[in-house]
């Protein structure tokens, strides 16, 4: 029942919340609690204190707290319990650590590379054809991740019908059931066109999902672990697929894109999420400030001044991360 209540959230969030609630139930049963009606605020506080001793990451504890609020809120709204014991439970934001923005040279190596691990290639099919097909797939995965700023889960869930090569657009099903249509640049569209025309049918098998856009080496729908392996093979530095999305947004802002536009492209419900997710370079902040603030144009002596050496710290940061926007 609770899992059906979570159907509007991403599959990863639904699985995590369900697992978190089961963990709480198991802990409560060991404490002698036989049902949700016996749970009170003090019991939940004891559980949160218990979690703090288990060396969980701050973001993990915050997610578990959010899962309990969602669970008991659902029980109360559906009249399964008379009161919500989690109503005053505070859900603190997780760590604000962000993936490192990839340098342009690193991105060039990732996007223009052609390394294929042939140990992952099954025997059926001519080796040369399969190697080329995997290269086309890897090119597509990486171009779409960086070119459209997708979450890994969004990339893996793409179907062939979500691609419109004529208009160079991509329909993406994001978090909370929100759908957005994204533009594609030439290289991204070309990579998709080559994969669909010359690569997909080589890897596809009779058991392959007919609508799945991207397939792994076994012909199944591409998964997050497959994406990680692709990036590991191509990247000259240790990184994570989410860094491509972060780099996409940061490079747009550094190039002068409006924050609201970046919010729409990323599929964020709140602008605050975009603000902390995409830090703007110090040089960009100084340039915008100097060009737009009426008191920053000139000092009393007639020369431009920022009041000495301006400093925003090592990273510009705004607001807090919106709960639930984690790497997939």
Q: Rounded to an integer, what distance in angstroms lies between the CA atom of residue 172 and that of residue 119?
A: 32
Catalytic residue among 41, 171, 221, 242: 242
Q: Is 180 known to be catalytic?
A: no
Kindly give, in sequence order, each residue whose CB lies less than 8 Å from that of residue 285, ignoring residues fewer than 6 positions away: 312, 316
Catalytic residue among 245, 251, 279, 321: 245
Residue among 141, 157, 150, 155 nearest 231 (CA): 141
Structure letter (DSSP) for residue 264: H
Residue among 85, 112, 78, 76 nearest 235 (CA): 112
Strand, coil or helix: what is 108? helix
Q: Are strands 163-164 and 179-183 parallel, antiparallel or unpaired?
A: unpaired
Q: Is 119 known to be catalytic?
A: no
Catalytic residue among 63, 200, 246, 268: 268
Catalytic residue among 64, 137, 175, 246: 175
Q: Is 97 known to be catalytic?
A: no
Residue among 247, 234, 19 nearest 137 (CA): 234
Q: Is 229 known to be catalytic?
A: no
Catalytic residue among 130, 137, 151, 251: 151
Catalytic residue among 47, 246, 277, 279: 277
Which active-site residues does the annotation give? 151, 175, 242, 245, 268, 277
């Amino acid at each position: 029942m609770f899992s059906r209540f979570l159907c509007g959230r991403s599959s990863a969030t639904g699985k995590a919340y369900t697992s978190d609630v089961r963990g709480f139930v198991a802990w409560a049963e060991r404490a002698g609690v036989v049902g949700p009606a016996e749970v009170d605020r003090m019991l939940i506080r004891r559980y949160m204190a218990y979690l703090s001793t288990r060396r969980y990451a701050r973001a993990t504890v915050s997610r578990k707290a959010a899962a309990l609020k969602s669970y008991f809120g659902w029980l109360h709204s559906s009249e399964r319990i008379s009161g919500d014991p989690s109503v005053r439970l505070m859900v603190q934001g997780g760590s604000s650590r962000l993936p490192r923005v990839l340098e342009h040279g690193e991105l060039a190596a990732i996007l223009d590379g052609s390394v294929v691990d042939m140990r992952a290639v099954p025997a059926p099919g001519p080796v040369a054809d399969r190697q080329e097909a995997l290269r086309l797939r890897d090119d597509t995965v990486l171009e779409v991740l960086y070119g459209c700023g997708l979450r890994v889960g969004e990339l893996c869930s793409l179907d062939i019908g979500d691609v419109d090569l004529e208009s160079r657009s991509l329909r993406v099903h994001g978090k909370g059931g929100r759908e957005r249509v994204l533009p594609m640049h030439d290289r991204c569209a070309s990579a998709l066109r080559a994969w669909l025309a010359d690569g997909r049918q080589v890897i596809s098998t009779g058991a392959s999902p007919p609508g799945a856009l991207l397939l792994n080496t076994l012909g199944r729908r591409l998964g997050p672990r497959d994406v990680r392996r692709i990036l590991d093979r191509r990247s000259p530095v240790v990184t994570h697929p989410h860094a491509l999305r972060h780099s996409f947004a940061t490079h747009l802002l550094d190039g002068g894109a409006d924050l609201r536009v970046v919010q729409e492209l990323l599929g964020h419900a709140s602008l605050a999420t975009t603000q902390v997710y995409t830090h703007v370079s110090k040089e960009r902040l100084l340039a915008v400030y100097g060009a737009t603030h009426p008191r920053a144009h000139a000092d009393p002596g007639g020369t431009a001044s920022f009041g000495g050496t301006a400093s925003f710290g090592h990273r510009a940061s705004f607001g807090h991360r919106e709960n639930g926007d984690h790497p997939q």
